[in-house]
Structure 1
């Protein structure tokens, strides 16, 4: 996402809306992340699936329904990411023996390796941002964003 002329004018005045800045920063991170994934030969993996499903799976299988709130995406988006990761062979989806309506997700060996690669890439890119902007500013941004993300989510109408 490139800034528009209106965005540039806001930047010059120093008052671009915070959500626009957050979106632009996330877009920059995502583009760099995707470029590096491609270099690693992980073309089937997206930053959205990496930061949601892969990040929230651990050693034990997990119900898909419990991940919606953790991932911060809609059920539909999560289902699409699960389907993408399953078709890529990175996760296994099975029925929950205690409730056949529920789906259990687990990492495959390839998924575990992809998860490790994803975590390394997150750390590398963040390290580059720290080197460019300074650890004090990055940690300050992390504190502020954590506080904003911790606020109660408004109910949808």
Structure 2
């Protein structure tokens, strides 16, 4: 965990660097360096930053997908996460990302995702996310923009 001191409060983020496997249409795997990050300033989201030869590609999606995807298939829209076994019968987590620009299927070792999720949920327990969101402030900002 990294800590950043702010004059108002301490903001702690969880960051994990790992290598995922990008799975192509034939089932072949290509290593893909990735950084997973969680910041309580956006308490419902996880960001995956994929480090490609063309540059960084960021996907932000619901942290509940990553938490639930350890145990059962989750996701309805652009992101799907589910537990699986790889070709060597090792436990992995599959993450499918879909956009108008294309699709990607990556797999991560379950132990890597579990370690990240454990740190993240120690920082902000499931169900406690709403305590970190300033709903009144967000509504006031939207109304101020509309005026």
User: What interval of TM-score do these two structures reach, taking the shorter chain for normalisation?
Assistant: 0.3 to 0.5
Return the index of the structure with the highest Cα Rg.
1
Indicate the structure with greater helix content.
Answer: 1
Indicate the structure with greater strand content.
Answer: 2
Q: Given the two structures, how large is their TM-score scaled by the length of structure 1?
A: 0.33
